[in-house]
Amino acid sequence: MKPLDAARERWISLAEKFAAERADDDAWLRDLRAESLARFADQGFPNTKQEEWRYTRVTPMAEVPFQLGCPATTPVTRSAIEDKASPVFACSLYVFVDGRFEPALSALATRTDVHVESLRALDTAIEPPLGSLVDTKQHPFAALSTALLDDGAVLRVPKGAQVTDPLHLVFVATGSREPRATQPRLFIDASENSRVQVIQDFVSLSDDVGLTNGVSEIRVGAGAQVDLVTIQRENAGSFHFSNVSARLGRDARFSHHNLTLGGRLVRNDLEVVLEEEGADCTLNGLFIGAGEQVIDNHTLLDHAVPHGTSRQLYKGILGGRSRGVFRGRVIVRPNAQKTVAYQSNPNLLLTTGARVDSKPQLEIYANDVKCGHGSSIGQLDQDAIFYLRTRALSEPRARQLLTRGFAQQILAALPVAALTEGLNEPLGDRLAEATSSPGSKP
Amino acid sequence: MLEIKDLHASAGGVEILKGIDLKIEAGEVHALMGPNGSGKSTLSNVLAGRPSVEVSRGSVTYLGRDLLAMKPEQRAREGIFLAFQYPVEIPGVTNSYFMKASLNALRRHRGEEELDAIDFLELVRAKMKQVDIDESFLNRAINEGFSGGEKKRNEVLQMALLEPRLAILDETDSGLDIDALRIVAAGVNAMRSPDRAMLIITHYQRLLDYVVPDHVHVLSEGRIARSGGKELALELEERGYGWLEQEPGEAPSPQ
């Protein structure tokens, strides 16, 4: 049997065993898992002959005999988490250890402006239903994640509520010699005219191989605003698959800021549907590759109705022998007149061994729209390096400063000012890794 | 301080400097004039150490050391400063961060203590006043979206901050209106001192009305065609560069 087929069988039996263990869960949840498992079984793991996966082989992940996440055997301390995650602890902190919510490690303010629940603590099905905002027919990893749904954060922002301090969700992988897989779920339902900012932070506490296969479902109601920051800084042995699916209502605003700083094989799928008129979407991304890392970003922006606006800016910095992918699809449906959609993907290659594939894809079926895209792949500007050196800075320092400058645009645009500040050091460390990882210099 | 002997240099495979001899002592201000393409900028690039310019012959001695063997950053740390003709825009790095990093790299080299944010700010504010630069400059990305005049003033600000021993100003006057020119000139004049030398590269006599040089050299086709006092600049202003090529008889007097 081919490795991908063998892996499919293995994961199906894992899911079946999981379902049997969880026979007492609510019917809606069991049904959702069963339906999702069927969808995963239909699709199996993707291979590079499929257009959506042509740049990324998932075989290295499929070959690992993952076990499902279980509570950490060694106790996790708050200080270990603070050490790894961004210091934005003034806001509410929700800690998930190997996929499970840990109230004892969290800093839970009593709040009335937003309902935050652990998925496991939900006593009834929610509306819109969990799993309804993500397309599991087209996304095998999202289907698998849902088939194994265990825990996660469910955020419901009532009508008109203005959540002024960001909610910080930290997903901790403790690691173990037997590689573990977790399926973190985030569900945000922002009702009419509400506003919320959420930080999703993925960290590892060890160097053990792990798999994070997460799904974030977001509904932004009429006139509401959701800002989501995703920081992925897992260890260099981690496989990370993430699906962010958002649906925007009338005059809704959604921004996503996707910082990929860690992992071995990373795949980010983003799907945003502008379902009603006047919606606005910003997708920003920064991905920094080092060593042999593979970071694959796929975005899909679906302008389904008139008067929607969207802008995407994904910046890649690739060092060592790392590989980056940006594939950005924008669909403007036949009646989506007056759409404004821009997309940009500049990339910086730090070594000759690094590589990036950039594929913007505009599919425009309406005639009165303003759309544009651009991508570039380049090296550091020699004139700029020389300029900085004539100001007494060493060549490595000049390169570092220019690389940092390239990333700054994404950092400066983060909706939480404290994050911009707090990420300074981890970002610097990450850039140093990318700059120093082997791969001959251009 | 600086002695250039029989300097030949090429860029992109084309020989541009064809035997330059020039000597600059501490305290002196030299003006280097010449038509477009005569090699003025190539000379400034050789002195600052631009990697793409190749020196094929000759020597440059700076403070008794072989300048050509030094990296650009070493030259800067030893006190050479080049004000660029076209300052480079660097998005994402603020002027203040850059200037502080630069100044502290110099201070480390000199064995001085690095300045913290507060001391740096105090110093840079004082220097900014000298060149009439708005404080908003500090938080803007290096030269990004700056007008031509702002870029040039930013160069003069950096010069004032780094206090070089040998300052090379490459067409710092071009593209400036008369007010900006006066400000730049005042900034340059404020820097004149017995232990500092300056090489002012310019296409026009205009700047030399405000910054009076001790020596004027005319560069033509990669060689110094003529050297003289400040009156040479006036003569050039009146007669243009054409007559130099017609009257090559007068041998350049090495300074």
What does the alpha-carbon distance between residue A365 and residue A350 come to, in Å, rounded to a whole number? 38
Look up the ipTM and state it: 0.94
- Please give the C-alpha separations between residue B90 and each of A391, A399, A407, B138, in angstroms, as whole numbers: 13, 12, 12, 14
Q: Across the interface, do A392 and B77 touch by the CB < 8 Å criterion?
A: yes
Mean pLDDT of B145-158: 90
Inter-chain touch B102–A383, beta carbons under 8 Å: no
Strand, coil or helix: B149: helix
Per the document, the length of chain B is 255
Q: Which residues of A touch B50 (CB under 8 A)?
A: 386
Tokens (6 digits) for A61: 């992940």
State how far residue B23 is from chain A, nearest Cα, in angstroms: 22
**Does A407 sit within 8 Å of B102, measured CB to CB?**
no
Q: Is residue B218 very low, low, confident or very high in pLDDT (cuts 50, 70, 90)?
A: very high
The answer to whether the CB atoms of B88 and A409 lie below 8 A apart is: no
Domain CATH number, residue B65: 3.40.50.300
Q: How far is B217 from chain A (nearest CA, A)?
A: 25
Please indicate, yes or no, if residue B102 is contained in any of the structural domains.
yes
Residue among B47, B110, B142, B170 with most chain A CBs within 10 A, to mutate: B142
Q: Are B217 and B32 in contact (CB under 8 A)?
A: yes
Q: Helix or strand or coil: residue A398? A: helix
Q: What pLDDT score does A415 carry?
A: 93
Higher pLDDT, A73 or A102: A102
Of B76, B88, B102, nearest to A384 by CB-CB distance is B88
With contacts defined as CB-CB under 8 Å, which chain B residues touch A406?
Answer: 91-92
Which of B175, B229, B238 has the alpha carbon at shortest distance from B207?
Answer: B175
- Decide if B102 contacts B142 (C-beta within 8 A): no
The answer to whether A259 and A410 are in contact (CB under 8 A) is: yes
Select the more confidently predicted residue: B231 or A234. A234
Domain that holds residue B27: 2-246
Residue B253: inside a domain, yes or no?
A: no
Q: Which residues of B touch A392 (CB under 8 A)?
A: 73, 76-77, 102, 105-106, 109, 162
Cβ neighbors of A116 (< 8 A, separation 6 or more) are A92, A94, A153, A154, A155, A167
Phi, psi for residue A117 in degrees, rounded to 5: -130, 150
Cβ atoms A254, A220 nearer than 8 A: yes
A264-313 pLDDT, tens digit each: 999 999 999 999 999 999 999 999 999 999 999 999 999 999 999 999 99
pLDDT, tens digit, 9 for 90 and up, residues B94-136 = 999 999 999 999 999 999 999 999 999 999 999 998 888 888 8
**Inter-chain touch B105–A401, beta carbons under 8 Å:** no
Are B49 and A395 inside 8 Å of each other by CB? no
The closest of B182, B179, B184, B186 to B169, measured between CA atoms, is: B184
Distance from C-alpha of B42 to C-alpha of B12, rounded to nearest angstrom: 11
Tens of pLDDT, residue by residue over A29-41, are: 999 999 999 999 9
Q: Measure the CA–CA gap between B187 and B155, rounded to whole angstroms.
A: 11
User: Which residues make beta-bridge pairs with A311?
Assistant: A282, A342
CA distance A242 to chain B (A): 29
Report the predicted TM-score, pTM, of the whole model to 2 decimal places. 0.89
Sheet holding B166-170, edge to edge: B80-83, B166-170, B197-202, B29-33, B215-220, B223-228
Annotate B82-100 with b (16+ C-beta within 10 A) or e (fewer).
bbbbbbbbbebbbbbbbbb
> Are B47 and B30 a contacting pair, CB within 8 Å?
no
List the single best residue of B102, B159, B162 to mutate versus A (max A Cβ within 10 A): B102
Cis peptide before A442 (omega within 30 of 0): no
Least confident of A299-303, B38-42, B77-81: B38-42
DSSP-derived pairing of the beta strands B141-142 and B90-94? antiparallel
* Per-residue pLDDT at B184: 86
User: In whole angstroms, how far apart are CA A411 and each of A231, A286, B31?
Assistant: 11, 8, 45
Residues belonging to chain A with any Cβ–Cβ distance to chain B shorter than 8 Å: 381-384, 386-395, 397, 401-402, 404-409, 412
Answer yes or no: is pLDDT of B248 > 80.
Answer: no
> Domain coordinates of chain A in residue numbers?
3-436
Name which of B71, B102, B141 is nearest A391 (Cβ-Cβ): B102
Instruction: Please give the residue that has the higher pLDDT: either B121 or A81.
Output: B121
Of residues A386, A394, A405, nearest to B91 (C-beta): A405
B102 interaction partners in chain A (CB closer than 8 Å): 388, 391-393
Q: B26 exposed, middle or buried (CB, 10 Å; 0-12, 13-18, 19+)?
A: middle
Q: Per residue in B119-154, is it b (16+ CB within 10 Å) or e — as a string?
A: ebeebbeebbebbbbeeebbebbbbbebeebbbbbb
Q: What is the side-by-side order of every strand in the sheet holding A370-378?
A: A100-101, A92-97, A167-173, A195-204, A225-233, A253-260, A280-289, A309-318, A340-349, A370-378
Q: Which of A65-69, A94-98, A133-137 has the highest mean pLDDT?
A: A133-137
| pLDDT average, residue stretch B60-84 | 96
Q: Which residue on chain B is closest to A380 by alpha carbon?
A: B90
Task: For residue B164, count CB atoms less than 10 angstroms from its CB and return exposed for 0-12, middle for 13-18, buried for 19 or more.
Answer: buried
Residue B181 inside a domain? The answer is: yes
Searching chain B, which residue's CA lies closest to the CA of residue A400?
B93
The mean pLDDT value for A166-189 works out to 93
Instruction: Convert the pLDDT of each residue in A121-151 to its tens digit.
Output: 888 889 899 999 999 999 999 999 999 999 9
Q: What residue in A sits closest to B88 (Cα-Cα)?
A: A384
Residues 6+ apart with CB under 8 A from A325: A55, A56, A294, A295, A296, A297, A298, A356, A357, A358, A359
Q: How far is B92 from chain A (nearest CA, A)?
A: 4
- In chain A, which residues have their Cβ closer than 8 Å to the Cβ of B101? 393, 397, 401
Judged by CB atoms closer than 8 Å, whether chains meet at A390 and B105 is answered as no
Which residues in B have their CB inside 8 Å of a CB on A? Answer: 48-52, 71-73, 75-77, 80-82, 84, 87-88, 90-93, 98, 101-102, 105-106, 109, 141, 158, 162
**Residue keyed to tokens 């652990």:** A118
- How far does A403 lie from chain B, in Å, by closest CA? 9
A32 three-state secondary structure: helix
Task: List the structure tokens of B15.
Answer: 């020989």
The bridge status of strand A370-378 relative to strand A340-349 is parallel
| pLDDT band, residue B168 (cuts 50/70/90) | very high
Q: How many structural domains are present in chain B?
A: 1
pLDDT at A113: 85
Instruction: Compute the distance between CA of residue A244 and CA of residue A219 in angstroms, rounded to an integer.
Output: 11
* A–B interface: beta-carbon pairs under 8 A: 80
CB contact under 8 A, B105 and A397: yes
